[in-house]
Amino acid sequence: MSDAHRRGGITISFELFPPKDSDGEAKLFGQGLPALIKLGPAFVTCTYGAGGATKAKTLETITRIKRETDLEVASHLTCVGATTEEIDTFLDHIDEQGITNVVALRGDPPKDDPGFVPSPAGLRYAADLVAYLSRRGGLDVAVAGYPEGHPECLDKCEDWRRCAEKVEAGAGLVITQLFYDNRDFFEFDQYLKNKMGVQVPVVPGILPILSGPQIRRFCSLCGAKVPAEVGRKLDSFGDDHTASREYGVEVATKMCQELIAYGVPGFHFYTLNRVHSTREVLQNLGLAAK
């Protein structure tokens, strides 16, 4: 992953999630993934245990992608609630598949367990997981960054210092949480580079908006804001999903154009296993593979 970014130019990667059922799997492998491949991503990543998905499904999905395509694949991996033994078992499995890219995350404590205590036989923060992976060796590790600060951390600069700790622990790439105001990304990126001396690529995570309710829900979950102007415009579309989606493409295209002018090394698209919006943004930018 980090090598792809060091090759220069604008590197594109896509995030997928493991399909929940056989219908979703048929759609992903029959239509979504082949269409995404045509756009020429440098690699794809697959989420782990997010939104209630099982971890076994992640393994199944990345194994199938690796088996059926030529794509470079990265597995997300969270340490929350896991013992190091469980983490090792997962790493052994991906190793058997020849997968050496990991997006290392803490994950979220279970929402239905307010008294949740991290496993004493586990790792507490993503930085601990990165250090653990570095000791294991042979892995290319990416971590999450939060341009608006992680929602649990009251001071965004403190959270950004924690992000730099993950790089110090061995991460070769930072992928950001979604955001809709590029100024948040610029501030985050400059803090990491100028104040913390981070030298690895910092890649904006882009989620083209599909609808007002959807993006408000996502943003409230991850502590990102929907700029007032964007919110007003989405409200004006009401139930017109086509207009909302087209506007989402327009917003993402403008954001990416400004980010390219700023000098980002690439984009990581949160595809939600869909292709339309990502393809249109990349085509608008002249970045879709010919």
User: Which part of the chain contacts ligand FAD (CB under 6 A), choosing from 18-26, 61-69, 119-127, 248-256?
Assistant: 119-127
248-251: which pairs have CB atoms within 8 A and are 24 or more residues apart? 248/208, 248/209, 248/210, 248/215, 248/277, 249/208, 249/277, 249/280, 249/281, 249/284, 251/180, 251/208, 251/209
Q: Answer yes or no whether residue 60 interacts with ligand FAD by CB under 6 A.
A: no
Per the listing, tokens 């698209």 go with: 269
Written as one string, the DSSP assignment of 235-268 is HHHTT-HHHHHHHHHHHHHHHHHHHHHHT-SEEE
Cα–Cα nearest to 278, from 253, 260, 255 = 253
User: Which part of the chain contacts ligand FAD (CB under 6 A), choosing from 90-98, 144-152, 184-192, 233-241?
Assistant: 144-152
| Contacting residue, 4, 144, 167, 198, with ligand FAD by CB under 6 A | 144
| Contacting residue, 150, 245, 274, 279, with ligand FAD by CB under 6 A | 150
Residue 224, φ and ψ in degrees, nearest 5: -100, 160
C-beta of residue 126 within 8 angstroms of C-beta of residue 80: no
Q: Answer yes or no whether residue 168 interacts with ligand FAD by CB under 6 A.
A: no
User: Which part of the chain contacts ligand FAD (CB under 6 A), choosing from 30-38, 43-51, 212-220, 249-257?
Assistant: 43-51
User: Which part of the chain contacts ligand FAD (CB under 6 A), choosing from 31-39, 99-107, 211-219, 242-250?
Assistant: 99-107
Given the complex with ligand FAD, which of 35 and 50 has the nearer CB atom?
50
Cα–Cα nearest to 144, from 245, 50, 278, 67 = 50
Active site residue 15: yes
Closest approach, Cβ 66 to ligand FAD, in A, equals 17
Contacts with ligand FAD by CB under 6 A: the residue count is: 24
Q: Answer yes or no whether residue 49 interacts with ligand FAD by CB under 6 A.
A: yes
User: Which part of the chain contacts ligand FAD (CB under 6 A), choosing from 30-38, 147-155, 210-218, 224-232?
Assistant: 147-155
Per-residue binding string, ligand FAD, 200-229, x by CB under 6 A, is -----x------------------------
| Contacting residue, 9, 89, 121, 152, with ligand FAD by CB under 6 A | 152
Cα–Cα nearest to 102, from 120, 90, 112 = 90
Q: Answer yes or no whether residue 101 interacts with ligand FAD by CB under 6 A.
A: no
Q: How far is CA 284 from each of CA 24, 77, 116, 243, 267, rounded to the nearest angstrom?
A: 28, 33, 46, 17, 14
Per-residue binding string, ligand FAD, 63-92, x by CB under 6 A, is -------------x-x--------------
Residues facing 175 on adjacent strands:
144, 203
| Triad 93, 31, 249: Cα angle to 5° | 105
C-beta of residue 80 within 8 angstroms of C-beta of residue 106: yes
List the interface residues with ligand FAD, window 176-205 (CB under 6 A).
177, 205
Given the complex with ligand FAD, which of 107 and 231 has the nearer CB atom?
107
Catalytic (active-site) positions? 15
Which residues contact ligand FAD by CB under 6 A? 47-50, 76, 78, 103, 105-108, 125-127, 144, 150, 152-153, 159, 162, 166, 175, 177, 205
